[in-house]
Amino acid sequence: MADLTTDFAGIKSPNPFWLASAPPTNSAYQINKAFEYGWGGAVWKTIGDPVLNVCNRYGAFEYAGNRLVAINNVELISDRPIEVNLREIREVKKLWPDRAVIVSAMVSSNEAAWKQVVQQIEDTGADGIELNYGCPHGMSERGMGAAVGQVPEYCEMITGWVTAAASIPVIVKLTPNVTNIVPPAHAAINAGADGISLINTINSIAGVDLDSFELRPNVGGKGSHGGYAGPAARPIALHLLSQVAADPKYQAAGIPISGMGGIETWRDAAEFVLLGSTSLQVCTAVMHYGFRIIHELCDGLSNWLDDKGAASLGEVVGASVSRISNFGDFDLSFKSVAVIDEDKCIQCNLCYVACDEGAHQCIDLTADGVRVDPATYTGSALLQPIVREEDCVGCDLCSLVCPVDACITMVERPPERAPVTWNELTRTRPEVTTDWDAMIAYRKEVGIEIH
């Protein structure tokens, strides 16, 4: 068993899995239960100013029969009195000294209010504070949450108040509802944050009811944007994580990231780890299946580390960060082509239609080895797709739509010309970026033919 113990800016936990600040961390009852199941830590549901919640707080994004591919919510921060929360936090931390107990906070944007809440949290014995700058609904209209996270100057100012007042680690949670997540990350770093967590939920509307015309979630006939989370949000979270993880200023700061956004299985967790997450936060998967998923999260992650020959999780944190690059630095001579394994092919011809109508027209349908036009073919043979390799641009669409495991694979072919990146090419031949004749001449010169 690989070592899963985690040290996040001095906050220690027996495994990297923390419950994210959300409904599953609303009470001592829930967090005690989660710790009994084995969760490494929990970020208490955001405490702060008084709020009132509404009915129909959640809406599901369903896809192809899967009930909760993502969830949208308009639930606010904790609606339990702050004193109750503080008392329970103290009790939980006392019961579970080896787990990470972090308190998420969000108060009005004035220094005194933040200083007070920092003191209140420290008095509980909690291990850290997470600043909720991400909540996209309800609180942002009151000048809190995303309203702070979307303005780097506010983010830096408030974080500065908190880090000046706090003696325990301060984590800044970033909102995805920005054009570029790096400036808010820089703001957190400038203000002395001890760690960054990302992402908070994404602005969204779960859907529209086709009978009633109501939005989902529906609050008495009305709807609004809510926060989107769950498996379908994961690619966006991974991207934002990669942007921060690859940022030189972030790397120089030497502070850890707590990654979240659609983590449901150990595989998802491993992806976040490879892109630079030291700890991992989970919410939607617990809202769907309960705390018991922690067993498989740890077991699967540990078995994977064993397979990779890693003795501890720390060895692979950020192992893919060096691969985060830019289009301009990709090798234009890298070549791969689609290869269809005809023994595995079930002749659904989804690859054909995807290539022919959605991509680059390099798959043919054949009957008994002879190319046929499916529009005019009248025979009874099941048509077999084959790739015209010389025309294949290597886009990968066919293998993505193929329903059969390992039937279509993208196979690397030797490059047909010297390696060059777009940046290198345009440094030496800037004319190709503006002059089609120059580009055509370049292509002829190196043997690129686009049909």
Partner 1 sequence: MEQHELSLAQLQDSFSETYPRYTKNEATVEADRCLYCFDAPCIKACPTSIDVPTFIRQIANDNLLGAATTILESNLMGHSCGRVCPVDELCVGACVLGREHRPIAIGRLQRYATDHVFDNGIQVFEPGPDTGKRVAVIGAGPAGLSAAGELAKRGIHATVFERKELGGGLSTYGIVVFREPTNVALEEVEFVRKLGVDVRTGVEVGRDISTAELINDFDAVVLAAGTGRVPDLGVPGEELLGVGEALPFIAATKMADKDGLEDLNAIEVGNEVIVVGAGNTAIDAAAIAKRLGAERVTMLYRRSREEMGAYDFEVDFIRNEGVDIRFQTQPVELIGEGGRVKAVRCVRTRLGEPDQDGRRRPENVPGSEFVLPADQVIKAIGQEKLVDLYDAVGVEHVGGYVRTDDELRTSNPKVFGAGDCVRATGHALTVTAAEDGKIVARAIAKQLGVPEPESAPGATRGRFLHDTVNEFGRIHG
Could you list the residues that contact partner 1 (CB under 8 A)?
Answer: 265-267, 289-290, 292-293, 295-296, 299-300, 303-304, 404-405
Q: Which is closer to partner 1, CB of 114 or CB of 266? A: 266
Minimum distance, C-beta of residue 299 to partner 1, in the bound complex (Å): 4
Q: Which is closer to partner 1, CB of 20 or CB of 298? A: 298
Q: Which of 134, 262, 17, 217 is nearest to 25 (CA)?
A: 17
Write down the residue that tokens 């908070």 correspond to: 200
Minimum distance, C-beta of residue 293 to partner 1, in the bound complex (Å): 8
What are the backbone angles phi and psi of residue 340, rounded to the nearest 5°? -95, 125
Q: Which is closer to partner 1, CB of 288 or CB of 335? A: 288
**Sign of the CA dihedral running 77, 83, 86, 88:** negative
Q: Which of 244, 259, 246 is nearest to 178 (CA)?
A: 244
CA dist., res. 313 & res. 320, Å (int)? 14
Minimum distance, C-beta of residue 269 to partner 1, in the bound complex (Å): 10
Q: Which is closer to partner 1, CB of 87 or CB of 292? A: 292
Three-class SS of residue 272? helix
135 is catalytic: yes
Q: Which is closer to partner 1, CB of 357 or CB of 405? A: 405
Q: Which of 245, 253, 285, 228 is nearest to 18 (CA)?
A: 285
Minimum distance, C-beta of residue 436 to partner 1, in the bound complex (Å): 45
Q: How many Cα atoms are found within 13 Å in the side-chain-facing hemisphere of 412?
A: 4
Minimum distance, C-beta of residue 315 to partner 1, in the bound complex (Å): 19
Separation of CA 265 from chain center: 13
Residues with Cβ within 8 Å of residue 32, at least 6 apart in sequence: 92, 95, 96
CA dist., res. 426 & res. 326, Å (int)? 15
Q: How many CB atoms lie within 10 A of CB 211?
A: 5
β pairing state of 207-208 and 100-106: unpaired
Three-class SS of residue 324? coil
Helix 266-274 × helix 234-245 angle, to 10°: 20
Question: Which residues partner with 127 through β-bridges?
Answer: none
Minimum distance, C-beta of residue 314 to partner 1, in the bound complex (Å): 21
Q: Which is closer to partner 1, CB of 306 or CB of 389? A: 306
- Among the listed residues 55, 135, 298, 395, the single catalytic one is 135
Would you please indicate which residues are annotated as catalytic (active-site) residues? Answer: 135
